Amino acid sequence: MMDVRRLDTRDADFAAQLDALLDRAPEASPEVTRIVDEIVARIRADGDAALLELTQRFDRRSLQSAGELEVPKAQWAAAWEAQPAELRAALEAAATRIRAYAEHQKLAPFAFKDALGNTLGQEVRALERVGIYVPGGKAAYPSSVLMNAIPAKVAGVDEIIMVVPAPGGELNPVVLAAAHLAGVDRIFTIGGAQAVAALAYGTATIPPVDKIVGPGNAYVAAAKRAVFGRVGIDSIAGPSEIVVVSDAGSDPRWMAMDLFSQAEHGEDSEAILISPDGVFLDRVAAAMAERVQTLPRAAIVRTSIAERGALIQVRDLDEACAVSNHIAPEHLELAVDAPRALLPKIRHAGAIFLGRHTPEAFGDYCAGPNHVLPTSRAARFSNPLGVYEFQKRSSLIECTADGARPLAQIAGRLADAEGLQAHAQSARDRS
Amino acid sequence: MMDVRRLDTRDADFAAQLDALLDRAPEASPEVTRIVDEIVARIRADGDAALLELTQRFDRRSLQSAGELEVPKAQWAAAWEAQPAELRAALEAAATRIRAYAEHQKLAPFAFKDALGNTLGQEVRALERVGIYVPGGKAAYPSSVLMNAIPAKVAGVDEIIMVVPAPGGELNPVVLAAAHLAGVDRIFTIGGAQAVAALAYGTATIPPVDKIVGPGNAYVAAAKRAVFGRVGIDSIAGPSEIVVVSDAGSDPRWMAMDLFSQAEHGEDSEAILISPDGVFLDRVAAAMAERVQTLPRAAIVRTSIAERGALIQVRDLDEACAVSNHIAPEHLELAVDAPRALLPKIRHAGAIFLGRHTPEAFGDYCAGPNHVLPTSRAARFSNPLGVYEFQKRSSLIECTADGARPLAQIAGRLADAEGLQAHAQSARDRS
């Protein structure tokens, strides 16, 4: 048996039940904010000295100087060479596919002339220096290094600084190998709010960056929120989520494992299956009970499914799309006969996996699109990580002497209405 | 005479002097954060009751119910009709140009097939409901309504909710007229952190939105930071800035007024002129002393120029671009003979105005590009407000049965390396 809640949209209190299940708090807690604000202030005030002290304490390191925080490039190259050939080939295949997809995301400049002969346009430039946060220790994921670094490289970022904590000095060599492959420029073994603060403000050792991306725990998320404005950040990462919409034609065993592939990330992961077929949901529940036993991380999966999982019966696939849109999931599988027919009905999802042969795990590693995706309903308003996060636009305006005159009249009139006489005069100087 | 500092890149301490001038704090102060967190918590807990109480207090309103916070559409239409024909024509001309430019910014979906026959792509959807914050009272700017609402309309947003505080019940009718013209859907007379919180969480009266854009004071900025994650936000707006790069060929009187057009926004505005010609800088200083006397807002301009203004002499125009890139200004005028020659050297600027006939004031009102731009050096990493801020992307992956098999091998191998067996099994189910 496996503990998983069953919901039905025909239940009177379905909406309330669903919202209770989804009740995440993407905002930082006041307690976490307070601790993080202190850490950020210490790094701003004391730089390397504070960074060294906090790293020694939180990561149980024993270091003589901040210089030791940097991992020499020779060590990454050695880590790459030390990996089995088959793993290197898999990393290379993934990197190639991630790069090929990213190339499609590059922003293009534009320019056009208005009827007056003035030129209007938009320039695109790469960011200069970005920081990539990689969660550390044994659970450090090489796939995250590829997903964060490759779009930045494709965008043309000058320098990519990676930070990864090394608790107890432990560093995953596959993470170093992935950094070598992805074209990271420098690596520092720092983590937590102190790493985010060091990247935002710079220290004698850590160069200040223009933007910080990558997932982390609640302290990392709060630190990113705190330094936002001083530097850019990507979205605040929450626990991983999957919604699977399936008709009765999918293999229940596949559906079970697809749900588990999110659930195994952590006890707060969210895995939800939606189907119009109640018998099919029963069969998936049975498959879950059977297949969970095969998993090394079965305990995490059981807790996650019990706490945050659900099998939801809907009236039809249209209603399945509506429920999914309300959830606005990070990952959405459409494991149905005609997924393309449902696609126009999907308004909010970070990544959409079409058809029964497209498990979410492909997206985590090697399909090509980024695995850094909006969570906690942020797919309502934000984007997957992509090349466009490492580029920025500048507006362009170029008037001719003749083309300026009509604009001087319009701007002058509107500035008058706003009581801004220097604006009005500056415009009318050109008339 | 007019008090304005002179800097020279040949001075030994130039870098330190410039950084002292630029020393903004885009982060919220702990005191402001504390007050705002309380207001946000009150709105979350008590909804309309808290919103009404805070609005009565901060905006000196006297209202019976939250329903009175909404401005009926008939009142906007009447405000539009009441404007002079010439002002309506200027607003219409500006709106038409803003819309035409915004149309160029729409994100396009893409899709392609990989060598295995799998389809990879990116879908684009509009946000459902957005909130536009318009600063209130007498200083409410109709141009800001056009600049915030029109890109949202062009993006296809379903519903645009505008909030504008009405201190003492006072509401600028031109702001209502602009909302009528721009296609806003609903207007509520609320402001401050309580308005941001109401938009983020919703109350019985205020519908919750997916993203909040628009400038505001320090409390509004801190509230946007606090609700980020729950909703999307645009960048945190700081005081307005202009950098003018000019050779000796510009009219010093024009340059003086261009600087004033930023300085008049407020005492913390930043206006900097950079030129390789010291005599030209002297002539601009003289023109400033003369022309400031003509301005109704001369006192603000004098303070702003004295506190935050500078005339910077550089060795050549290349160095001017380097100094400008370090400043990463919101607005940059290139008032030189050959502005196109400098353009490739400009890395960081929100909007670039090319040539002597393109004053920044055109961009504020009617050139077409948005006047909501990154401030406080955020042009290093962020974008002008645009249509793309009201759209979002979803990744798309669609594998065939045959195309899935090679991906199953790669993903399986990488999941093994990360110790995620459910990922590995989910992938290999398709092999």
Look-up of token digits 């490492």: A390
Q: Write out chain A residues lying below 8 Å of B251, CB-based.
A: 429
> Tens of pLDDT along A361-403?
999 999 999 999 999 999 999 999 999 999 999 999 999 999 9
Looking at domain A5-26+238-367, what is its CATH homologous superfamily?
Nitrogenase molybdenum iron protein domain (3.40.50.1980)
Instruction: Report strand pairing: B211-213 vs B129-133.
Output: parallel
> Tens of pLDDT along A192-217?
999 999 999 999 999 999 999 998 88
- Range with the lowest mean pLDDT among A280-284, B1-5, B314-318, B345-349? B1-5
A96 and B CB contact within 8 Å: no
Q: Tell me, what amino acid is at B61? A: R
> Tens of pLDDT along A274-288?
999 999 999 999 999
> Tens of pLDDT along A417-426?
999 999 999 9
> Tens of pLDDT along B188-214?
999 999 999 999 999 999 999 999 999
**pLDDT value of position A27:** 65
**pLDDT value of position A375:** 93
> Tens of pLDDT along B2-25?
999 999 999 999 999 999 998 766
Residues of B that are catalytic: 330-331
Please list the residues that pair with A113 across neighbouring strands. Answer: A119
Q: Answer yes or no: are the C-beta atoms of A132 and A149 closer than 8 Å.
A: yes
Inspect the interface and report whether the beta carbons of A362 and B397 lie closer than 8 Å: yes
Please list the residues that pair with B133 across neighbouring strands. Answer: B163
| Of residues A236 and B418, more confidently modeled | B418
Question: Which class is domain B5-25+239-367?
Answer: alpha beta
Inspect the interface and report whether the beta carbons of B229 and A210 lie closer than 8 Å: no
Inspect the interface and report whether the beta carbons of B361 and A94 lie closer than 8 Å: no
A232 and B CB contact within 8 Å: yes
**pLDDT value of position A35:** 94
Dihedral angle of Cα A318, A323, A325, A329, to the nearest 10 degrees: -130
Which residues of A are annotated as part of the binding site for NAD(+)?
Answer: 133, 194, 217
**pLDDT value of position A281:** 98
**pLDDT value of position A264:** 95
**In this complex, how many residue pairs, one in chain A and one in chain B, have their CB atoms less than 8 Å apart?**
381
> Tens of pLDDT along B120-169?
999 999 999 999 999 886 667 999 999 999 999 999 999 999 999 999 99
Instruction: Report strand pairing: A119-126 vs B119-126.
Output: unpaired
pLDDT of A257 > 80? The answer is: yes
> Tens of pLDDT along A337-368?
999 999 999 999 999 999 999 999 999 999 99
Q: Write out chain B residues lying below 8 Å of A415, CB-based.
A: 361, 364-365
B123 and A CB contact within 8 Å: yes
A392 and B CB contact within 8 Å: yes
A293's CB contacts (< 8 A; 6+ apart) are none
**pLDDT value of position B33:** 86
* CA B237 to the chain's CA centroid: 6
pLDDT of A26 > 70? The answer is: no
3-class SS of residue A21: helix
Burial class (CB in 10 A: 0-12, 13-18, 19+), B316: exposed
Q: Write out chain B residues lying below 8 Å of A420, CB-based.
A: 261, 264-265, 297
Task: Kindly state the percentage of chain A with pLDDT values over 90.
Answer: 91
pLDDT of B175 > 70? The answer is: yes
Local confidence band at A144 (pLDDT 50, 70, 90 cut-offs): very high
Q: Which of residues 8-47 of B touch A (CB under 8 A)?
A: 26-27, 30, 33, 37
Cα B342 to Cα B245: distance, rounded to the nearest angstrom: 10
Looking at the complex, report in whole angstroms how far the Cα of residue A27 sits from the nearest Cα belonging to chain B: 6
ipTM of the complex: 0.95
**pLDDT value of position A173:** 95
Look-up of token digits 């490039």: A73
Question: CA-based diameter of chain B, in Å?
Answer: 80
Local confidence band at A235 (pLDDT 50, 70, 90 cut-offs): confident
B105 and A CB contact within 8 Å: yes
> Tens of pLDDT along B265-303?
999 999 999 999 999 999 999 999 999 999 999 999 999
Spell out a b/e string for A338-365, using b for 16 or more CB atoms within 10 Å of the CB, else e.
ebeebbeebbbbbbbbbbbbbbbbbbbb
Residue ranges of chain B assigned to CATH 3.40.50.1980? 5-25+239-367, 30-108+128-233
**pLDDT value of position B27:** 65
Residues of A that are catalytic: 330-331
Cα B291 to Cα B305: distance, rounded to the nearest angstrom: 13
Q: Answer yes or no: are the C-beta atoms of A274 and A8 closer than 8 Å.
A: no
**pLDDT value of position A254:** 98
Q: Taking the CB of residue A431, how many other CB atoms lie within 10 A of it?
A: 12
**pLDDT value of position B136:** 82
Look-up of token digits 């945050």: A308
B254 and A CB contact within 8 Å: yes
Look-up of token digits 């406080």: B376
B349 and A CB contact within 8 Å: yes
pLDDT of B28 > 70? The answer is: no
The architecture CATH gives domain B30-108+128-233: 3-Layer(aba) Sandwich (3.40)
Cα A43 to Cα A422: distance, rounded to the nearest angstrom: 42
CATH number of A30-107+125-233: 3.40.50.1980
> Tens of pLDDT along A88-107?
999 999 999 999 999 999 99
> What Cα–Cα distance (Å) separates residue B22 from each residue in A44, B6, B32, B231?
17, 15, 22, 30
Q: For chain B, report the end-to-end CA distance as a whole number of angstroms.
A: 80
* 3-class SS letters over chain B: CCCCEEEECCCCCHHHHHHHHHCCCCCCCHHHHHHHHHHHHHHHHHCHHHHHHHHHHHHCCCCCCHHHHECCHHHHHHHHHHCCHHHHHHHHHHHHHHHHHHHCCCCCCEEEECCCCCEEEEEEEECCEEEEECCCHHHCCHHHHHHHHHHHHHHCCCEEEEECCCHHHCCCHHHHHHHHHHCCCEEECCCHHHHHHHHHHCCCCCCCCCEEECCCCHHHHHHHHHHECCEEECCCCCCCEEEEEECCCCCHHHHHHHHHHHHCCCCCCEEEEEECCHHHHHHHHHHHHHHHHHCCCHHHHHHHHHHHCEEEECCCHHHHHHHHHHHCCCEEEEECCCHHHHHHHCCCCCEEEECCCCCHHHHHHCCCCCCCCCCCCHHHCCCCCCHHHHEEEEEEEECCHHHHHHHHHHHHHHHHHHCCHHHHHHHHCCC
Token pair of A142, please?
Answer: 């090489």
Looking at the complex, report in whole angstroms how far the Cα of residue A361 sits from the nearest Cα belonging to chain B: 5
Inspect the interface and report whether the beta carbons of A426 and B360 lie closer than 8 Å: yes
Looking at the complex, report in whole angstroms how far the Cα of residue A254 sits from the nearest Cα belonging to chain B: 7
Average pLDDT over residues A177-184: 98
DSSP annotation of A237 reads P
Looking at the complex, report in whole angstroms how far the Cα of residue A64 sits from the nearest Cα belonging to chain B: 31
Taking CA–CA distances from A40, the nearest residue in chain B reads: B27
Residue ranges of chain A assigned to CATH 3.40.50.1980? 5-26+238-367, 30-107+125-233
Average pLDDT over residues A61-82: 96
Q: Taking the CB of residue B13, how many other CB atoms lie within 10 A of it?
A: 9
Local confidence band at A325 (pLDDT 50, 70, 90 cut-offs): very high
**pLDDT value of position B213:** 96
B236 and A CB contact within 8 Å: yes
